[in-house]
Amino acid sequence: MTDPDSKVTDPQFASTLAQAIDVLACFRSGEPTLGNKQISVRTGLSPSTIARLTHTLVQLGYLRRAPQGRRYLLGPALLTLSYPLLASLQLRQIARPLMLRLALEINGAVSLVIRDRCNMVYVETSRANETLQAHPDIGAALPMMSTAAGKAWLCRACAEERNAALNRIRVEQSDHYKAHHHSLAATYREFERYGYCSNNQQWVPHSFGFAVPFAKPIDGNIFVLNCGVPITDGSFAERNRQIPKRLQVLVNSVQNTLGL
């Protein structure tokens, strides 16, 4: 949620706008409806403030009232708001057919991800194996410190940006930070030596992950290509020998097309 200190240190900070965005950020996959009480608990805002914010967001189309009782669902205006961003990403169009080809070759999923605050978010994905228990989809979020994609982002980011991201995770996701910060040194060594990051069941127990960041930011953002494969198709050592080099070839091909 919003850093409370920013209201004091930044005179340009619009706290009411930030609170409304925090309300929208409360909604999670698998939990489509929320009531004002739940939103109040998650944001730390008073019930009266939440009531005003949810009423306003309903009027603007960013929330809608659920048929059952006094609960809310996300509204279609959010799709309209996000579409221009997705449509403007030329990278998605270029990478999509290559991602599908690789997904078929490795019998897994290949995804394009980007950082959003404390998480990594899918902006494109191709799946060739519907039995994967983790089903990546556009807009879904991944934790940063326990996934190959998040590790790759941390390795590519400059020191200032990386430290800012880690500090935010430490404050807003303290349990996640405590559980994984000890592995950062090994992550940096792996990337420095091999140019990719791996995940040996650290995020979910049924899959391995591998990720390669793009060499340069695109429109100011660090993009990462990530592969997920089921553990039933081979050992981690075997998949580690096969997949990263193919993923690196894919990244290089897209970068060459973009002229990076």
Indicate which CATH number applies to the domain containing 137. Answer: 3.30.450.40
Q: 64 in a domain, yes or no? A: yes
Residues 100 and 40 in one domain: no
Residues 53 and 134 in one domain: no
Residues 190 and 226 in one domain: yes
Note down the domain range covering 139: 89-258
Q: By mean pLDDT, which of 24-38, 95-109, 157-171, 176-190 is the weakest? A: 24-38
Residue-wise pLDDT for 179-204, tens only, equals 999 999 999 999 999 999 999 988 88
Count of alpha carbons within 13 angstroms of residue 162, beta-carbon side: 14
Residues 15-34, mean pLDDT to the nearest whole number: 90
Instruction: Report the predicted TM-score, pTM, of the whole model to 2 decimal places.
Output: 0.85
Residue 80 has pLDDT above 80, yes or no: yes
Answer positive or negative: Cα dihedral of 231, 233, 236, 239.
negative
Q: 214 in a domain, yes or no? A: yes
Question: For position 260, what pLDDT does the model report?
Answer: 81
Residues 98 and 207 in one domain: yes
Number of structural domains, the chain?
Answer: 2
Q: How confident is the model at residue 4 (pLDDT cuts 50, 70, 90)?
A: very low
**Could you tell me if 128 and 107 are in contact, meaning their C-beta atoms sit under 8 angstroms apart?**
yes
Q: 54 in a domain, yes or no? A: yes
Residues 71 and 97 in one domain: no
Bridge pairing between strands 109-116 and 119-127: antiparallel
Residue-wise pLDDT for 200-247, tens only, equals 988 888 999 999 999 999 988 999 999 999 999 999 999 999 999 999
Residues 65 and 103 in one domain: no
Answer positive or negative: Cα dihedral of 241, 243, 248, 250.
positive
Residue 134 has pLDDT above 70, yes or no: no
